[in-house]
Amino acid sequence: MSTHEETPEEHLPSEQREHGAEAVKRPENPFADPGLPPHEHRVQDIDEAAAKRSERAVAFLFALSMVATVGFIAAYVSVPQDKSIYVWPLGHISAMNFSLGMTLGIALFCIGAGAVHWARTLMSDVEIPDDRHEIGASPEVTAKVKADWVQGAKESGLGRRKLIRNTMLGALTLVPLSGVVLLRDLGPLPGTSLRHTAWKKGKLLVNMNTNEPLRPSDVVVGSLTFAKPEGLEEHDHDFQKEIAKAALMIVRLQPENIKDKRELDWSHEGIVAYSKICTHVGCPISLYEQQTHHALCPCHQSTFDLADGARVIFGPAGHALPQLRIGVNDEGYLEALGDFAEPVGPAFWERG
């Protein structure tokens, strides 16, 4: 049964009601290629003055990119790293990060905007349809591509519009310099700085919470105390750099529970001082289990036995925590008897 027979007449479109379903003409192929609309010339194609204006606009964008790249380098060498500025709506931010981001952003944007404006207004915009063909070009097609390439290069005006070409080459040559100057941050080499910390003979152990020098009586069995070297204050310029190497954790063990002879020799009445910096990738260790004497790093669960030379008993850490040799001075305060005997924290490539 046909659709026409199933549908009541009053529900058919008016055209079908008047002429019957057969009378409605349908296109033979609704998906036929409609072809290209007629080509419309842009104002730059017919007005040389407009083309010149576009050329100057493109050159201006490329020149602006060059200025921004020079600004990037100038900002990198002249803006102090610790200077902050107020920028609405971001608030207080690093002046160096802001100026580097802005200048590099402008440099890259101007190159992109210049290229787009050039292509949209000055390069040929003639539509060139092509039929689908087999993958893999024949020699004739290869020759045609080469010819098209040469013609495209000619039509882009690369040879004729020297102002654009030269400023574009200048912008493209300068912009990689932004990355080159950043290579400076790879240096200088750390030298021996990773092998030494702020600890040395006679430095008092200062409680990091109270900022008071520690006496042996301040460290009780079962407690975990964090300490820093005397004289290292939070407002110091290099505080973060130094505390990242010098932070200590101090626990008191029963001397008879200490299994490692050197650990016992380097302790004071069962008080042992170990680097707080995990030897895996450097997280600060912050958990201590007094029954087992285990210290646990929260990052990847490396576990160290503080009663046995802080050797690794679980987890990815590669070696034991370095111990600091401690004693008591004439005034009864805990003091270091030297620096760590080995580098603290994770292994590094020149550690040997």
The residues of the shown chain that bind ligand FES, judged by CB under 6 A, are: 278, 280-281, 283, 297, 299-300, 302, 315-317
* Integer Cα distance of 88 and 93 in angstroms: 10
Residue appearing with tokens 């080469």? 146
Report in angstroms how near the CB of residue 271 gets to ligand FES at its nearest.
24
Closest approach of ligand FES to the CB of residue 285, in Å = 7
DSSP letters for 216-234? GGG--BT--EEEEETT--T
Minimum distance from residue 111 beta carbon to ligand FES (Å): 42
**Phi, psi (rounded to 5 degrees) for 335:** -140, 155
Q: What are phi and psi of 98, to 5 degrees?
A: -65, -45
On whether the CB atoms of residues 181 and 76 are closer than 8 A, the answer is: yes
Nearest distance, CB of residue 294 and ligand FES, angstroms: 13
- Alpha carbons 77 and 80: distance in angstroms, whole number: 8
* Burial of 108 from C-beta contacts in 10 A (0-12 / 13-18 / 19+): middle
Choice between 71 and 316, CB closer to ligand FES: 316
If the CB atoms of residues 123 and 244 are measured against ligand FES, the closer one turns out to be 244
H/E element, 241 = helix 239-246
Nearer to ligand FES, 106 or 281 (CB): 281
Beta carbon nearer to ligand FES, 85 or 281: 281
The residue among 103 and 303 lying less far from ligand FES, judged by its C-beta, is 303
